[in-house]
Amino acid sequence: MNNHQNAIFHQITNFLKTPLALLGVDLKNFQFNKICHFANHPYLCKGLYE
């Protein structure tokens, strides 16, 4: 692989990482929200909804 191919490869991997990272964050927030509702103490998780 030459330098040009390397640069393109890194751009593609960075492009793919972003939605996966966002999806991971959304899943974590979803789990926190489920825990908060299950515990019936939403005031404990007030900061998570912002």
Q: Evaluate if residue 5 carries a pLDDT over 60.
A: yes
Q: What's the CA gap between 14 and 19, in Å, rounded?
A: 10
| Residue-range domain boundaries for the chain | 24-50
Q: Give me the pLDDT at residue 15, please.
A: 74
With tokens 């191919």, the residue in question is 5
Q: Using one digit for the tens of pLDDT, what is the confidence trace for 8-50?
A: 777 777 776 776 666 666 656 655 555 555 555 555 555 554 4
Q: How is 1-50 classified by DSSP, letter by letter?
A: --HHHHHHHHHHHHHHHHHHHHHHHHHHHHHHHHHHHHHT-GGGGGGGG-
Q: Give me the pLDDT at residue 22, please.
A: 67
Q: Give me the pLDDT at residue 7, please.
A: 76
Q: What's the CA gap between 20 and 17, in Å, rounded?
A: 5
